[in-house]
Copies of this chain bind each other. A is one copy, B any other.
Amino acid sequence: MAANKEIPYKIYLEESEMPRQWYNVRADMKNKPAPLLNPETLKPMTFDELRPVFCDELVKQELDDTDAYIDIPEEIQKFYKMYRPSPLVRAYCLEEKLQTPAKIYYKFEGNNTSGSHKLNSAIAQAYYAKQQGLKGVTTETGAGQWGTALSMACSYFGLDCQVYMVKVSYEQKPFRREVMRTYGAKVTPSPSDTTAVGRKILAEHPGTGGSLGCAISEAVEAATSQEGYRYVLGSVLSQVLLHQTVIGLETKTAMDKYGIVPDMIIGCAGGGSNLGGLISPFVGEMLRGERNYDIIAVEPASCPSLTRGKFVYDFCDTGHVCPLAKMYTLGSEFIPSPNHAGGLRYHGMSSILSQLYHDGYMTARSVEQTAVFEAAEQFARVEGILPAPESSHAIRVAIDEALKCKETGEEKTILFGLTGTGYFDMVAYEKYNNGQMTDYIPTDADLQAGFDRIPKFPGNEI
């Protein structure tokens, strides 16, 4: 640990410094995240109940809350070397623009074709599927970041990849679809006539544009009805958060190398896997009583699961085919207003992050989308990277905090996660550029309608 070295614009670790194990923060949590429940028995899901849906090794990771370190298989390490380590960037230009005494760093996960951190888990999930001798995997995708990442991972391992893409996105984001097809994935607009649940929905709602919940249901059915297939998911689950700790581990190593200690760590939170991955090694220090950090989850005001949701058991999916998870939730049937362009639309939150938030290890803040795009534009113009709308939530709060430092004169060190690039989000940018972007905050009544649909059972009253 060498302090006072001159900090370069971008800190890249050597390959030899890259993590060889993921860090499982649950091992250090005194209050473990509550187990997934079988919605029929209301008992914790067992290994055997989960393995028809997920790969065996991933089920093990999902259920493991005691092993602090889990080896990253060599094949995954090899793939990580193709696009990692990702740079830890000192935002010198943004600091100068803001005239702030704060020191701002961001860990940039957008330098790969999937355009985001999603690839970190996609490659792990594809690897375990391949190891298990499976033919392929199924998944759903909305905006397409996850589907793209999974297509890349499957193409690398020669696995079949079937993506159910929300129909309205399939039609409105043809470029995302083509990237997936270029990587060999089969992309089906959902709802489709390829599954029973899809046909049922089509019969009931002809002409529907689909939803993430519907696409999940189709993907799960496709996985469980085909020999040699499993279903994979891009966020929310503890296994995904585990894989994403590669982000935080690299960040911590890079900061330690230069003797940098962040006062504040900021990340956007949808399902929570990127934020969880970034903060895990830092939260580990907090849990072990070694050090303290100010950790802030940022979510859209239009989908405020942490700041306005309930900490209860709820379905992970709108179609109610998945287990119940204890988490901060707006209700599995809550759907953000259609004017919301900024991503992070998930109704719930990783159960690990939910527990940490509940126990006071992090705070949360909600921001409105026009302010988010303002921050995105400001960042792009000085730092040169066009950020994804999701990532820009973190930028908004990082800028706000840096401006507070300007007022108070504090030289805080701010770290934030820049999860991806916005190349496929230009429709939202266009709206912003044309001054047509509007904000939306759900009323208490809107939220209550979502809460009313949360399953009620003894111990799960709101």
Contacts and interface: CB of A to CB of B under 8 A. Distances in A.
Interface stretch (A195-203, A325-333, A425-433): A425-433
Contacts of A259: none
Contact of A8 (B81, B385, B386): B81
Interface residues of A, number: 42
Contact of A183 (B175, B181, B381): B381
Nearest to A373: B182
A182 B8 contact: no
Contacts of A9: 15, 81-82
Nearest to A425: B175
A390 to B, nearest CB: 16
A68 interface: no
A382 B78 CA distance: 12
Contacts of A175: 175, 423, 426-427
A384 B82 contact: yes
A433 B178 contact: yes
B429 A386 contact: no
Given A178-B429, A426-B174, A113 B8 contact: no
Given A111-B111, A178-B426, A380 B183 contact: yes
Nearest to A8: B15
A384 B152 contact: yes
A14 to B, nearest CB: 8
A423 B145 CA distance: 13
Nearest to A426: B175
A10 B430 CA distance: 35
B384 A184 contact: no
A12 interface: yes
A12 B88 CA distance: 14
Q: Which of A113, A152, A377, A385 has the most CB of B within 10 A?
A: A113
Interface in A321-375: none
A82 B380 CA distance: 12
A436 to B, nearest CB: 12
Contact of A384 (B112, B174, B380): B112
- Most-contacted residue by chain B among A83, A119, A174 (CB, 10 A): A83
Contacts of A381: 152, 155-156, 183-184
Contacts of A179: 386, 423, 426, 429
Interface in A306-330: none
A53 interface: no
By CB atoms of chain B within 10 A, which of A8, A82, A119, A377 has the most?
A82
A336 to B, nearest CB: 23
A309 B381 CA distance: 41
A421 B377 CA distance: 22
A158 to B, nearest CB: 10
13 contacts: A9-B81, A9-B82, A82-B93, A112-B385, A113-B380, A115-B423, A152-B381, A152-B384, A156-B382, A175-B423, A175-B427, A179-B423, A181-B430
Interface of A: 8-10, 12, 14-15, 81-83, 93, 111-113, 115, 119, 152, 155-156, 174-175, 178-179, 181-184, 377, 380-386, 421, 423-424, 426-427, 429-430, 433
